[in-house]
Every structure is written in structure tokens, then in C-alpha cells.
Structure 1
Amino acid sequence: MSQNNHTSVGSSHFTNTGDGDVHMHLNTEPQDTRRTAFRSVADDQLRWLRRVLVAPGNMGEARATLAETGTVILDGVPGSGRTSAAQVLLREYHRDSGVYNELLPDDDEQLPLRDAELVGTGDRLLLDLSDPARWSAYRGDLSTLRKTVHERDAHLVVVMPHDDTLDAGLQPFRVEIARPPGPYVLKRHLRTHGLPYAEYVRQLDPESEKFIDRCPMREIAHFADRIRRARESARPGVGFGHWCATARKARHDRHKEAAQLVAGSTEAPARALLVTVALLHEAHADVVHHAAALLLKSHGPGPDQAPLLQHMDLAQRLKGIKAGTDPGGCVRFDELDHDSAVRAHIWDHMPDLRPHLGAWAANVVDIADPHLTPAVRDELVARLAGEYLRTGRPEGIASLAVNWSTPAAGQRRLEAAVHALACGLNHSAYAGGFRERIYQWCRDHRLTDEFAQVLVQVCADVLAPTQPDMALTRLFHLARREHGTTRARDALRELVGKSGRLHRRLLDRLTRYDPTPSDLAVFLHVSDPELLTDPARAAEDGVRRPLTACWHAVLTELPRSTWQPYAEHWFHCAEPAGEVLLDLLVGAAGRSEERRGELFAALYTAARAAERTAPGGPVRAAGTTELLLHKIGAAQGLGPAGPPPSSTRGTRP
């Protein structure tokens, strides 16, 4: 089975909204402890990659170049592990500030490579230009991009086509990596898969060694995984040589064998079991038995009327389709990789079954069985999605996600919908189409609460780890249309909290046109004043100007009952943070010529109210109120602009 990377979609947090005032809550819902966010999957994959990577030749030079200059351009023959090396290099520069970003220069949504706003302080950027056409189109922008990366203390790794032309000014950043020895790579993968060293320490057989000496690194990884699975399903007494031979055999086209297996299973119960084992391969026998019964009940004859004790047992039925159970009770075909061949044959040659498999899979994920783990559910969804992608039908995955996200859907179905869309977003050929489809859903479509919840999870936890700007855009559209929950706003706040650049982009979007009440509700929820306690972020003009503009719109267009709780939170943060938060609020109120007195009075009232709940106590909060009053006076020309004298005012009741 695959690693236990799964997602869990939590319960809703409701707030009172409607056509009148916009009411928000400062407190956020507690985190679901069961939630294994897809955002961790990207980091998990990088950790796995770092464990299995055998450093290619000149990896040390690449690491040193990146450390000294912030940029390295990786050259090397295809299949030498350039992309994996790039990801590992950037993984080593993970820090609290900045985001990881896989740049897509030919995507219309992304800022041009020459735009300085593409790079944030501390960002880690991967630019894959290994395709010669992309290299020709964008290599001229590398010098400008590298300069911005250097200025913002970021890190950039570029993958270039092997032996292509590079400008003289960029030659110092070029490092050619060499393919690591194939046997070392294989053994590293086997060790990481948990195989004892004594089982594979001997020399590889000539045929296997010849294979891994010429194949790309990703093929060696697949070969190692097949060896692992061959070992797990092998009969006792066979060793490493047999596992390798089985793994090599599994590489060959097995469609003819799959066709014979399907043709030999003519009865509906046998066909149902065959389909089930192909899609739930390596799942526990109890799960397979239950899932096969569900499929047969939906699309087969009525239940067997014979007495229960006369029914054929599962072991006999599995033997009829050349499958069986291992010592742990998990079901496997006798031959390695027969499951993928059977799936492909059934999908290609029984097309009338395809529409029904989605509904069946949704029923399977709802089975209450301790053996139906999140990993098993995710594997089922991935295999079903894989057939849609293999045959060029990505719209089928979109339909699955929508159909699994109805108001009656439980948590497990929503998790399955998230995973289905993740499969599309992670597919190299169809990722762009899925990003566009999700954008249209987020911006224009009427969404059920459940499907909106799925889209929030996809944007925050699948898209954001590699394309944070695109996640920002989609979450913003979801947030401004959100009613009844704060999920999208919470996710948006978390995303911009990691990056000053993303925060600036959101503020720019909010102030590009006259903000609506929904936009202002998003602003109040997302613009955490604690972000501005960082002097570097607070001093940025690209942050202060739009913040002032947004607060001006809030103060003049929303009722005080809506914005005062947020203003009180700003006053609480202003106690230890200095004057910048007060300057922003006073500046926002001062922009209104006709109502400035009224707005100054409202801010002062909010500050007095904030004293009663201030974390630092009322005495300290009273000092913040005194400072606010001084700044209001200065803004009205009633006092000096400098700091006020020390307050002598005591505690207020």
C-alpha cells in the first residue's frame, strides 16, 4: 500500500450572516486532531525523497553554490535526478518565513519572471526549464529573477536542458550533476522500504544490473517498489533473485493475461470480486468481501438464496480469479501487477461499468470497518482516478468530486472528493486544467456547503504547498462568497501569515476596486495585526497604504458593531507592538473629511472597551488609549506629533 498520506475534512463552524450586517467571530474553530492535511504531504514527499536520494555527482558543489549565492542552475543528462536534487536542495532551506513555490512561467496566472513581486523574503523557488522550448522562452529572464532572489534573501534552483546555452553572466551558477550508480540507488530505496540489508546485500543478477544501469532514476524507484511487493507476496523460501525476476516480469505488458483472467470469470459474482480486488488490491479480506457484495448488489443478480453455510467461501472465490490472502489477511493477485492490468482491461473493455464505479466507490469509503483505513480509501480513489487520467477523461474526476460532495455526504466522502481532485492536480499533463476548473468553481459556481468545504481543503492543502499564489486567488473567491462558516477565511489568513509577499498581493486585490461588504469581511478576518508586529513587514509601503485604505472603508461602510471587536484586537496587539497599528487606524479615520471627528470618537470608544479585556491588564491598556488619544489630537492639529508625556492616568473601572 501507499504511505498513509490522507486528508480529513473537519466539521463546520457556523456564524450568523445574512443580507444585513456582516458579523464575524475572532475565535477560530479548534483543529481536528484526525486531520492529516495535504499540506503535510508535500513535506512528507520531500522528506522521503531526501531519505532515498543517493547524492548525484557534484551535489556538494550545487549545495555550496546555492548557499553562497542563493541560486544554482542544475545541468545534467535526463534521468540523472536533476529535479529530485533540486527539491532536496530547497528542502534544506526550510524556514518559518517565506514559502516554497514551483514557478510556472507559461501559466497566465503567474506573474512574469521579471516581476519583483514574484519573490518574497525567504522564499524557496523551483524553476523547471528542462524542456528546451521553455528554456528558450524564459532563459532571458533569469538574470533579473536571480537579482530579485538575491535582494530578498530567497533561494532559487533552476533545472536547465542538458548542455544548452547559458549566458556568460550566469555561468558561475551552473553545476552539472552526474547520474549516481544505479545499484546504490536501488539499495537505498530497498533499505528505505524496510528490507533487511542481509536480503539484498549480494550482487545483483546480470539482467537486473543491466536494467538499472540504463534507466532513469524514477524507473529505479518503481523497480525497487516492485521488488518490495514481490517479496511481500512471495511464497516462503524464495529470495532476492526471485523477487527481482518477478519485478522484471511485472514490467512487461500483461494485458493479454488480464483479458484471459476476465474472460474466464463469466459469472457475475466472480466478475464483481475481480473488479473489487483490482481496485482494492492489498486491502483486508473483510473489506474486499463487503465491497464485492456492494458491487454485486448494485449491478448483479439478487442475493444467493442458498443457506449461508452452503455459500462458497472467500478463499475459494479468490482462487477462481487467481488471487489469495497473505498471512496478514490482505488480498493480492498471485501475479505481481495483475491488479493494474485487470483495472485497465475492465475500464477499456467494459465501458458501461464506468459510471457505476464512482457510486460504488462512494459506498465503499463509507463502510464502517476498522480495516478500511484512510490509506486504503485513498488508494481506492487514486486507482479509480488513475483510470480516468490514463484514458484522457479528467472531467470524470471532476464529476466524481461534485457527486461525492452532496449535502448528504459524510466526512469520508468529502475526504474522497478532496483526494480525487488532488490526483488531478498532481498529474503532470492535466494539472493546469484542474487548476483552471477549480478557479471557475471558486469564482462563479453556486456551491453546496459541502463542495465549498472540499474546495477550501484542496486549495489550502494541495495547491498552496507548491503554487501558493494560485491558492491565494481561489481561497479569496471562496472567502468572499462564504456564508455559515469561516473555513476559507481561516485558510486564507494562515496562508498570508507565512508570507509578506502574499499578504501584499491580497491587500492589492482588496483595494484594486471599491471593496464590497464581503471583501471587507474577508479583510477583517484575514488581516491579523500580529503580522504587523514584525517591523520589516509593518514598514512596507505596499502593506501600510492598502491597510489604511481597507480600514477607512471598514470604518465608513460597516456598522461599528461589526468592526469594533477587530479594532479591540488591534488595540490589544498595539500594547506590546508599538505605534504602527495605532498609526494605521488613526490614518484610516483621518481620511474621511466629513466624518473624521465621529470616527476618531468611535476609535477612542473601542480603545476604552478594549481595556477591559486586554491581556496585559487595564493599566497597560490605558497607556495604549492615551497614546491613541495623543495621535488623534495630532491628526486634528491639536497637539504635537511627537510622543506624549508618560501617562499618569490610573486604572479605569
Structure 2
Amino acid sequence: MNQHGSTRVENPQGFIHTGPGNIYFNSGAHPQDSNKPAFRRVAEDQLHWLRLMFVDPSGMGKARAVLAGTGTVILDGVPGSGRTSAARVLLHERRRDSGVFHELLPEEEDELALHDPDLVGIGDQLLLDLSTADERQWSTARMDLPALRKAVHEQHAHLVVVMPHDGALEPDLQSYRVTIRRPSGRQVLRRHLRMRGMPYEQYMRSDVTVDEFVAVERPMREIADFADLVRRARETARPDEGFAQWCATAKRARNDRRREVAARVTRLPEAPQRALLITVSMLYGAHADVIHRATQLLLHALRSPSDEVPLLQHKDLAERLTEISADTGPSGHVRFAELDYESAVRAHFWDHMPDLRPHLGTWAASVVDLHDPHVAPAVRDSLVAHLAGEYLRTGRGDGLASLAERWSTEAPSRARLEAAVQALTCGLEDPAHGREFRKRIYQWCVHGRLRGELAEVLVRICADVLAASHPDQALLRLYYLARRERDPAQPALQALNDLVAGSRRLRRRLLDRLARYGLAPPDLSIFLRICDPEPLTDSSGTSRTLVEENEVQHSLTTCWHAVLAELPRAMWQPHAARWLHRAADGTGHRGELLLDTLVSAAERCGERRGEVFAALYASAREAEHTAPGGPARSVGTTELLLHKISVAQGLNLAAAPPASAKGTQP
């Protein structure tokens, strides 16, 4: 059955395919990358997998050359030619240690305009996908492209624009335009088969089904789907079947089976039969024990009358599975006899029994909570993905969002929270509903009543999903969550700190936001957490550190003023000590700028400035005893701080402290 927009678990241990052109990775931490925030690992894994599956289309070499030489390339091509995947691969190939991947969304309300220079950070990889834009959207974007390209050039970043096919383009932009033409369908199919573990001697054989399939120019996503059907056909085939039979089975699976399923349902009028049919379709490939228990839970959720027949007179599971054309393999896992039959069954019941839909959410929650060794994470993921797929296929994203909220708030268990995270991930990754889900998550973070464990779910969604492609949106949502946080562990604040740790640009944006709108008590806590002096004075990859930027200096001074004026010294002293230690650690004039910021912030305290100056000086004296480099440098830093305080107070001054006190090597 060929249903675009459905959700399919391709490999529960790795990547999950949730519709045309989008892949997300669901895994635990990678030991070798444990020092990276989770969203960085997710983004890199996504793009790495895409690169492995990718076959270069015609024009890819030229696109690489244009991007390397100018920092910008504009891709054109017919829909289905792989131009969006090509854009992501191009950016993945330009990835550096600095910068983040960022998909630009110029028309969403909480995104910066394309002409805003704050949109681009050092070394960022920017994707502007306007392949489906209308004439107005494309015209507006073209007006902003010169300013965007200038910022990209200045920040040593890289920008790939996917333009509407054969759209208008000004003469000065034509040199950046590269036309992508689809690669050989046969070559793409073979690459996908190889990456899915198909033996070389099998997929290299000539086959009439493959010849017919590749004879038609198809979108790349259809080829990928067909390759996966061949893989699944191989896994369920008899030992005497080979590549030709696998491909023929995959071809039959692409047929529309709605009438076939409708006829079968008519022949199965009893509730237990239909419950088993639904369960197998939603938990396809699960162990027979899970299928049996989940079927009972579905009957209970639907309040079906209990069967009074004695237990030993019941039909056994094997007989009941035969009635719905399913069986268990040698490992005890249940599958339909026909490949991909389960998606047609799901669609039939969802479309033709709409009153069943709300009960399926309650049932799914009870299934993911089952304490059974066969209910592995992959089984739970498969169930949630299939259920989410039906919501999204029929345009009911609001229902899926409400279901995730319910799983997070009504007797939430660890398994239900994982299910809620995955359900929202499916919505975010869906091309037709992604914007709707981003807006819904924003409303929750800013205005929502965060009952139960919804806040935890939102933190994970923002940090591990949204930040991987839309870091600015993740930043704003995590900021609002951190302001409302009541959890002593402060997971939202930690996630926010991890996010800005990977990007100078995002740290600059957060500091600007804190300073621009007035600092309430929650904002002071956020500032103290993210005001680490090391990234502020880090000069790697840039000729100008953050603390040397006038706008950042203004933000830091404003924030420190609020901290010094409103918080007791015990709360800010450890953070001030880190600044003093950094100033003493050989950072030169950048360290002196840290001191200037502290003094300027204290000077703004009006009648209390003398008291605050004294507190700063006392903190500097205390910091001498804990300085990592020993007290010698810190003593000089304290003298320099005292000199700057004296200047601020207009006192008679002796000569300034020697250079060694300014953070240079003694």
C-alpha cells in the first residue's frame, strides 16, 4: 500500500522514518560523544545517515564547488530529484567544530528575519528550503538574500537555498544557482538495499520487477520506501525464496488494499476478531504474548462484554491469528501473511470507525505501561509511531498533541513520558504539521498549565528534537520553561545552558533577550547560569570574542547590574569569582573587560554603589584563595579591580597596576 504521510518504523534500534524526506534518530547517548549536548548528537547522526544513503545527483560536484568558493549555493531542480537531501548533505560536508545546523523559517513569528545579521553565527550551516514557496514568499526571500549572504560571508558560515523549481532569480544571484538532476533510480535503489543489509550478489542480479520499477522516474522517497519493502519481504520470506520473490512481494505490497481489508473486516464481525486485527496492525512484529495481552486491553478499553465461555473452550491464539491471515514465526513474533498489510488495516479502522480513535490513545498508554520482557522500547516506539501516523495522515495534529499532553499529565509513568516525547517528535518532523506543532509547543512553554510531567517532556522535545534543526526556536522555548521552572534539578535551565554552549550566536541572543526586557528574579538565575566567562573570552575561530562586542558588553553590564542590585552577595559571589579567576588567567585585555563590566554594573547601583563596590572588592580578596593558577595572578587582578573601582568613584589615583596585574603572564 502506498500511503504518503504514514509513519513507519524502519529500524526500531536506529533511524525512524516519519514521512517523505524526514528522518529522526532515537537512541541513547553515544559514549564517544558524551561531552556533546544530545541535540548535537541527534543532528549529526541524522545527517551522517543521510550521507550514507545518498547518491550524488547530476550537478552535485558543481554545487560543492560553488558552496566552497562563495559560502552560498542556490539549488534548483524538479520535485523529487533529491534537491532537499542534497542541500542537507552539502551542509553536513561543511560541518566544523564551531557553529550549528539551522533550518531557517523566515515566516514563523518567533524567527528572526533573513536580513537580521544575528541570524548567522560563526561556522553555522544554514538551510533555507523554499522548494514549496509561493511567488510572494520567494520574492520576499530574494529581497533579503543579499543581506543574508553578507552575514554568511562575514561569519565564515555556509548557506544552501532550495528554490522553487524554475522560479525567478535576479542576474546577480545566477552565479550561485546550480540545477540538480535526479540520479539513476537503479543506482539509488541499490544503495538503499546495500545500506539495509542486502547481499551484493542479490541486488546486483537482473530482475524484471526492478526493471519495471526503475523504468519510471520516481521521487527519491518512493525508491527508499520500495527498498525497505524489499528488505522486509526478505526477512519474512521462506528459505527457498530469493531476490526475485522478495521484489515481487514488495511490488504487491505497494498496491492499494483498502477494498481487500474492507471485505475481510466484513467477514470478521465479532469484537475479539476485530480487536486482534487492530492490535496486530498497531503492534506488527511484536511477540505473541504482547499481542494477546494488548488485545485484551483493547477489548477492556472498548468495554466489550466479557466472554463467559470456559477458558479451555476458548480459541487459542494460533487459531485466532489464522482467522485474520496472520501467524507467528519461529521466534514467536506476529506478522500478517501479506507484506505491509498492517498499514491498510490501520487506515481502514481509523477512517471508517472514527468513534474508535479516542479509545486507541487510552489503549496505547496501557500497552506502553505493560511490564513484560517482550515490551521493549522498540515495541513501544512502533506503537506510538503507528498511532501518530494515523493522526497526521488525516490532518489531526491537534488530536495528537492533546494525546501527548494527556500521556504527560494523567498518571504519567516513565514509559508514557517516552511515548509523549515520541508522539510530539512525529508531529515536529512531519512536513505538513511541523509548524503547527512548533506553535503548540511555544504556547505550552509560555502560557500552558504545566501539569504532571509535561514540563519534562517539553524540555526533552526542545533540547533533543527542536534544537537539532531550529535552535533559535528551542532557545526561546527553553528560556520560558526555565523562567517557570520549579524542579530543583532545573533541567530546563541545564538544557538552555547546553544549547548556548554550542553557539556564540545563541549565547549572544539569550544575553540580549535578558537585558532587553528587564530582569525578573527568574531571569537573574538564568543569567548567572549562562554567564560563564570562558566562552565570553574564547578567541578560537574568531578575531573578536563575545566580551569585545559592544552589544554583548551592554547586555552583560545590564544583567550584572540587576544581579548586584537585587541579589545577596552569597548568591552572586561564586559567579563573580569565576570572572575574577578568568581575568587572572592570561586573557589579557579581554580579562580586563570582564573587570570593567563588573565595575560598570556596580556603578549603576546609585546610592548603594559604595556598598556594592566594597562587596566586589571583598569577593576578589576571597577569590585569591581559590584561584586555579595560584594567588600570585589573582592578587594582581584584585589590585587592578581596586584601581578601576577608585576611578569609578573619582578618587585621587596613583599609577595604574603593572601589566602583570592585567591578566598577563607574571
Give the structure-2-normalised TM-score: 0.89
Report the 3-state secondary structure (helix = DSSP H, G, I; strand = E; otherwise coil) of the residue aligned with 1:595.
helix
Report the 3-state secondary structure (helix = DSSP H, G, I; strand = E; otherwise coil) of the residue aligned with 1:336.
coil
**Which fold has the larger relative contact order, with Cα–Cα distance below 8 Å and residues 6 or more apart in sequence?**
1
What is aligned with 2:619? 606
8 Å contact 2:446–2:477 — kept in the other structure?
yes
* Residues 351, 77 of structure 1: alpha-carbon distance in 2 compared, 3 angstrom cutoff: closer
What is aligned with 1:530? 534
8 Å contact 1:634–1:641 — kept in the other structure?
no
1:95 correspondence with 2:108: no
8 Å contact 2:640–2:656 — kept in the other structure?
no
1:75 correspondence with 2:76: yes
Pairwise CA distance, 1:376: 2.1
Distance of 2:370 and 2:612 partners within structure 1 = 58
Q: Which stretch shows the higher mean deviation, 216-225 or 301-310?
A: 301-310
Distance of 2:656 and 2:302 partners within structure 1 = 80
Pairwise CA distance, 1:296: 2.4
Report the 3-state secondary structure (helix = DSSP H, G, I; strand = E; otherwise coil) of the residue aligned with 1:464.
helix
What is aligned with 1:354? 357
Distance of 2:168 and 2:354 partners within structure 1 = 49
Which of 10, 19, 30 is the aligned partner of 1:2? Answer: 10
Q: Which stretch shows the higher mean deviation, 549-558 or 512-521?
A: 512-521
Distance of 2:278 and 2:634 partners within structure 1 = 67
What is aligned with 2:467? 464
Aligned pair count reads: 626
Pairwise CA distance, 1:643: 4.2
Which of 506, 511, 518 is the aligned partner of 2:510? Answer: 506
* Residues 2, 39 of structure 1: alpha-carbon distance in 2 compared, 3 angstrom cutoff: farther
1:570 correspondence with 2:579: yes
* Residues 358, 468 of structure 1: alpha-carbon distance in 2 compared, 3 angstrom cutoff: same
Letter aligned with residue 633 of structure 1: S
Q: 1:298-377, aligned counterparts within 5 Å?
A: 298-301=301-304, 310-377=313-380
Pairwise CA distance, 1:631: 2.8
Distance of 2:493 and 2:68 partners within structure 1 = 36
Distance of 1:260 and 1:504 partners within structure 2 = 61
What is aligned with 1:289? 292
What is aligned with 2:404? 401
What is aligned with 2:592? 579
Which of 197, 201, 210 is the aligned partner of 2:200? Answer: 197
What is aligned with 2:648? 635
What is aligned with 2:62? 61
What is aligned with 2:604? 591
Report the 3-state secondary structure (helix = DSSP H, G, I; strand = E; otherwise coil) of the residue aligned with 2:495.
helix
Cα deviation digits, residues 322-343 of structure 1 (max 9, x gap):
1122333322111111111101
Distance of 2:466 and 2:656 partners within structure 1 = 47
* Residues 434, 219 of structure 1: alpha-carbon distance in 2 compared, 3 angstrom cutoff: same
Pairwise CA distance, 1:603: 1.2
What is aligned with 1:251? 254
Which of 208, 220, 234 is the aligned partner of 1:217? Answer: 220
Letter aligned with residue 487 of structure 2: G
Pairwise CA distance, 1:185: 0.4
Pairwise CA distance, 1:458: 0.9
What is aligned with 2:523? 519
8 Å contact 2:209–2:248 — kept in the other structure?
no
Pairwise CA distance, 1:403: 0.8
Q: Which stretch shows the higher mean deviation, 41-50 or 486-495?
A: 41-50
Cα deviation digits, residues 409-448 of structure 1 (max 9, x gap):
1211111111111111111111111111111111112212
Pairwise CA distance, 1:206: 5.7
Structure 2: state its 5+ residue gaps.
1-8, 15-24, 540-544, 662-666
Q: Which stretch shows the higher mean deviation, 305-314 or 557-566?
A: 305-314
What is aligned with 2:476? 473
Cα deviation digits, residues 271-313 of structure 1 (max 9, x gap):
2211111111122223222222222233354665666555433
Q: Which stretch shows the higher mean deviation, 180-189 or 154-163?
A: 154-163
Q: 1:479-498, aligned counterparts within 5 Å?
A: 479-485=482-488, 486-498=490-502
Letter aligned with residue 605 of structure 1: A
Q: Which stretch shows the higher mean deviation, 613-622 or 320-329?
A: 613-622
Pairwise CA distance, 1:228: 0.9
Q: 1:56-205, aligned counterparts within 5 Å?
A: 56-131=57-132, 132-133=134-135, 134-205=137-208
Distance of 1:332 and 1:484 partners within structure 2 = 44
* Residues 37, 534 of structure 1: alpha-carbon distance in 2 compared, 3 angstrom cutoff: closer
* Residues 9, 81 of structure 1: alpha-carbon distance in 2 compared, 3 angstrom cutoff: closer
Cα deviation digits, residues 124-181 of structure 1 (max 9, x gap):
1111122352323322322221121111111000112333332221222111222111
Report the 3-state secondary structure (helix = DSSP H, G, I; strand = E; otherwise coil) of the residue aligned with 1:579.
helix
Letter aligned with residue 566 of structure 2: E
Cα deviation digits, residues 76-131 of structure 1 (max 9, x gap):
22211111110001011222222211111222222221121211111111111223
* Residues 381, 40 of structure 1: alpha-carbon distance in 2 compared, 3 angstrom cutoff: farther
Cα deviation digits, residues 53-96 of structure 1 (max 9, x gap):
11111211111111111111112222111111100010112222
Distance of 1:388 and 1:407 partners within structure 2 = 20
Which of 255, 265, 270 is the aligned partner of 2:268? Answer: 265
* Residues 478, 206 of structure 1: alpha-carbon distance in 2 compared, 3 angstrom cutoff: closer
* Residues 122, 641 of structure 1: alpha-carbon distance in 2 compared, 3 angstrom cutoff: farther
8 Å contact 2:301–2:362 — kept in the other structure?
no
What is aligned with 1:549? 558
* Residues 293, 621 of structure 1: alpha-carbon distance in 2 compared, 3 angstrom cutoff: farther
Pairwise CA distance, 1:212: 5.4
* Residues 79, 7 of structure 1: alpha-carbon distance in 2 compared, 3 angstrom cutoff: closer
Aligned-pair identity (%): 60
Pairwise CA distance, 1:587: 1.8
What is aligned with 2:5? none
Distance of 1:641 and 1:423 partners within structure 2 = 65
Letter aligned with residue 644 of structure 1: P
What is aligned with 1:422? 425
Pairwise CA distance, 1:569: 3.0
Distance of 1:507 and 1:386 partners within structure 2 = 39
Letter aligned with residue 628 of structure 2: P
Cα deviation digits, residues 455-506 of structure 1 (max 9, x gap):
1111111111111111111111111111123111111111112222212221
Distance of 1:415 and 1:63 partners within structure 2 = 39
* Residues 514, 227 of structure 1: alpha-carbon distance in 2 compared, 3 angstrom cutoff: same
What is aligned with 1:15? none
Pairwise CA distance, 1:592: 2.4
Structure 1: state its 5+ residue gaps.
11-31, 648-653
What is aligned with 1:644? 658
* Residues 86, 291 of structure 1: alpha-carbon distance in 2 compared, 3 angstrom cutoff: same
Pairwise CA distance, 1:210: 4.4
Distance of 1:599 and 1:147 partners within structure 2 = 43
* Residues 643, 78 of structure 1: alpha-carbon distance in 2 compared, 3 angstrom cutoff: farther
8 Å contact 1:183–1:213 — kept in the other structure?
no
8 Å contact 2:633–2:660 — kept in the other structure?
no
Letter aligned with residue 417 of structure 2: L
8 Å contact 1:532–1:581 — kept in the other structure?
no
Report the 3-state secondary structure (helix = DSSP H, G, I; strand = E; otherwise coil) of the residue aligned with 1:125.
strand
Distance of 2:655 and 2:77 partners within structure 1 = 61
What is aligned with 1:240? 243
Report the 3-state secondary structure (helix = DSSP H, G, I; strand = E; otherwise coil) of the residue aligned with 1:515.
coil
Letter aligned with residue 177 of structure 1: I
Pairwise CA distance, 1:36: 11
* Residues 57, 637 of structure 1: alpha-carbon distance in 2 compared, 3 angstrom cutoff: same
Report the 3-state secondary structure (helix = DSSP H, G, I; strand = E; otherwise coil) of the residue aligned with 2:159.
strand
Q: Which stretch shows the higher mean deviation, 626-635 or 104-113?
A: 626-635
* Residues 627, 105 of structure 1: alpha-carbon distance in 2 compared, 3 angstrom cutoff: same
8 Å contact 1:571–1:582 — kept in the other structure?
yes
Report the 3-state secondary structure (helix = DSSP H, G, I; strand = E; otherwise coil) of the residue aligned with 1:127.
strand
8 Å contact 1:442–1:477 — kept in the other structure?
yes
Distance of 2:202 and 2:329 partners within structure 1 = 20
